[in-house]
Amino acid sequence: MQNEGYRAILAGVQLDQDISYSMKELWSLAEAAGVDVAGEMIQNKERPNTATYIGKGKVDELAELCQNMEVDTVIFNDELSGMQLRNLEERLNVRVIDRTILILDIFASRAVSREGKLQVELAQLKYRMPRLTGFGKSLSRLGGGIGTRGPGEKKLETDRRHISKRMDEIKRELAEVKNNRTTQRARRQKNEIPVVALVGYTNAGKSALMNRLLSFTDKEEKSVFEKDMLFATLDTAQRNIKLETNQEFILVDTVGFVSKLPHSLVKAFKATLEEVNYADLLLHVVDASYSDHDFHISVTNQVLKEIGAAEKDRLMVYNKIDIAEDITLPSNGEENLYISATRGDNIEQLVDRIKEKIFSDRTVVKMLIPYDRGDISSYLCEKARVDTMEYRNEGTYFEVEISRKDYGRLEQFLLLE
């Protein structure tokens, strides 16, 4: 469901830092939720008003604006308390929501998997629990709309016990999903398949890069949804990438980050994001066409720190160089690559860097496998990078790249110079 017909004014309080970018992003978030944005109002204050977030004079000014511009919604750039929500709605006589409700609403509309829907619902309930007096009234008076849709967005009773019970149910269901993921991860680790995770700010082009790497390995039929919009994809996607060299790795696409990402969402998606913690390499995808990409990088670094993945080995991948005009970028170096996922620029170079990073523990050896050990020959052909294979009198001769673990396991078949 889209919020067709909703018309809103954006409101923000500027304390000691410039919020122009944050407000611009709020505008994009509103549009992503299907809202028609009529304008914005910013107030400079030393601290937000406890009762109404903005000052009394600004509340009167905003009420007049709402009436003159015929808007039915005001979206605030920061998280509001239940009391602030209630007071503002009584004074403005329109729906009042905050940045957190807006982001949760977008997530609710984009979640596809059972796990994604459960995680969003859990975050929504955590947000509502301390705001029952304010938010509950908002829902009952205005009904439907932004912040009242998506998985679990049926009419909620404003009863703490009811919400607590539902939260416990969701946590149990998510624990089951987590156990299944742990089993899958154990299987991957047993098979020694490296994991590469795509991380970065929303709309940096992570899904586009995943699709480019899939087409690079002739697996376009497994492509993921991509669109030039905030949070186009929400659910984590995993694809197996098998290279011409027989080397393979799992590529994981994760939910994009955004400034002021609600803590409840980071917490709710921790189970999904823990895939990042188990990755062997992170590809930090940056929108090179955006002038303040350093801000995007710092937000992503902060979220990675929150989930315990700040020290992971990573490559900085500056995407969209095909449209990055007059943008100053860091000098090209060991850890920085410049690509265009849509046009395909420097994708081969990226694949080479990935291989260098995740297959560095591999070594090229010569082996002679007896003909009665066809199982080992099959294993090498399927799992290893075979440079040479010859049938000789004594058995099958290989020049092959193998992992350290396989080296120890197959040492008896090595031909030492």
Is pLDDT of 339 > 90? yes
Q: Do domains 7-110 and 192-358 have the same CATH topology?
A: yes
Per the prediction, the chain carries an average pLDDT of 83
Token couple for 127:
């947000």
CB atoms near residue 213 (< 10 Å): 23
DSSP sequence for 61-97: HHHHHHHHTT-SEEEESS---HHHHHHHHHHH-SEEE
Query: For the domain 192-358, what is the CATH superfamily, name and number?
Result: P-loop containing nucleotide triphosphate hydrolases (3.40.50.300)
The pLDDT of residue 138: 47
DSSP 377-399: HHHHHHHSEEEEEEE-SSSEEEE
Nearest to 17 by CA among 45, 39, 49, 40: 45
The CA-to-CA distance between both ends of the chain, in Å, stands at 68
Give Cα 169 distance to the centre of its chain: 25
Check: CB of residue 15 under 8 Å from CB of residue 45. Answer: yes
Q: How far apart are CA 389 and CA 25, in angstroms?
A: 56
Backbone angles phi, psi at 392, to 5 degrees: -115, 175
Tell me how far CA of residue 210 lies from CA of 1, 202, 239, 280, in angstroms: 27, 14, 8, 17
Percent of the chain whose predicted confidence (pLDDT) is above 70 = 82
Phi and psi angles of residue 18, each rounded to the nearest 5 degrees, phi first:
-65, 130
Give φ, ψ of 153 to 5 degrees: -95, 30
User: CA-to-CA distance for 117 and 324, rounded, in angstroms?
Assistant: 35
**Phi–psi pair at 357, nearest 5 degrees:** -75, -50
Residue 339 region, left (φ>0) first, then alpha (ψ -120 to 50), else beta? Answer: beta
Mean pLDDT in residue range 167-173: 92
Q: Is the pLDDT of residue 209 over 80?
A: yes
* Res 332: pLDDT: 54
Q: Does residue 224 contact residue 310 with C-beta atoms inside 8 Å?
A: no
Residue 92 reports pLDDT greater than 80: yes
Is the CA virtual torsion 37, 42, 48, 53 positive or negative?
negative
List the single range of 21-30, 315-324, 356-365 with lowest mean pLDDT: 356-365
Length, in residues, of the chain: 417
Question: What distance separates the 2 farthest-apart alpha carbons in the chain?
Answer: 94
Query: Looking at the predicted structure, is the pLDDT value of residue 91 above 90?
Result: yes
Task: Judge contact between 252 and 282, C-beta under 8 A.
Answer: no
pLDDT of residue 390: 94
CA 343 to CA 340: how far, in whole Å? 5
Angle among Cα 140, 81, 295 to the nearest 5 degrees reads 120
**Is residue 180 classed exposed, middle or buried when 0-12, 13-18 and 19+ CB atoms within 10 A define those classes?**
exposed
Q: What does the pLDDT read at residue 9?
A: 97
Read off the tokens for 261: 């990402």
Average pLDDT over residues 117-140: 73
Q: Does domain 7-110 correspond to CATH entry 3.40.50.11060?
A: yes
Q: Which residue, chain included where needed, has tokens 């602030």?
A: 84
333 against 343, higher pLDDT: 343
Instruction: Parse the chain into domains and list their residue ranges.
Output: 7-110, 192-358, 363-413
